[in-house]
Homo-oligomer: A and B are copies of this chain.
Amino acid sequence: MARGLSEEQLAAYFTLTEVGNLLEQAVSDQLRADGDLSPVQFQVLATLGEPGAPDYRMTDLADRIVYSRSGFSYQAGQLEKRGLIARERDGHDERSTVVRLTAQGRDLLARVMPGHVEVVRELLLEALPPRDLQTLRGVLDPVRDRLRSRPPRSARPRRRTG
């Protein structure tokens, strides 16, 4: 089995997967309790709320969060209904929609973040000496960049319309 992959390599991959799953499960409970948010919704808000965040179009966020456009439209609708984000026409390209965080969205993010950070600290960081954390970043950043550089789903050709 695992043609050309060592046990070691496969094990590392499965560990990465399992850590991701277990972490998401715990985080999911916290986000639901503190802000009635799904992990995906939190990710949208957090991405928009990052310090030097650029303007995002719908497609940009869909690609980043790993959603089909339609799926992201749905989520954006949910968040907009709650007044957490706003959508407005892009002045440069009338086809595009720019998404931004509202004041309410920023508030909710601020309200959810402490508990979120607490969970992350407890589950991830306390098991990681600062030195290892830095190592983790050094190791994963190139992987992330490699993954980001792949053509996103939105780049797939669409079927001809009737």
A103 within 8 A of B: no
Cβ of B140 and Cβ of A19 under 8 Å apart?
Answer: yes
Interface size on A, residues (CB 8 A): 59
Minimum CB–CB distance for A27 against chain B, Å: 9
Known interface pairs A25-B153, A136-B12; A1-B147 also in contact (CB < 8 Å): no
Whether B21 pairs with A140 at a CB distance below 8 angstroms is no
Whether B135 pairs with A139 at a CB distance below 8 angstroms is yes
Q: Does A158 contact B (CB under 8 A)?
A: no
Q: Are B127 and A142 in contact (CB under 8 A)?
A: yes
Residues of B within 8 A of A34 (CB): none
Interface residues of A in 96-145 (CB under 8 A from B): 110, 113-114, 117, 120-121, 123-128, 132-144
A→B interface (CB under 8 Å)? 1-5, 8-26, 43, 46, 64-66, 110, 113-114, 117, 120-121, 123-128, 132-144, 146-148, 150, 153
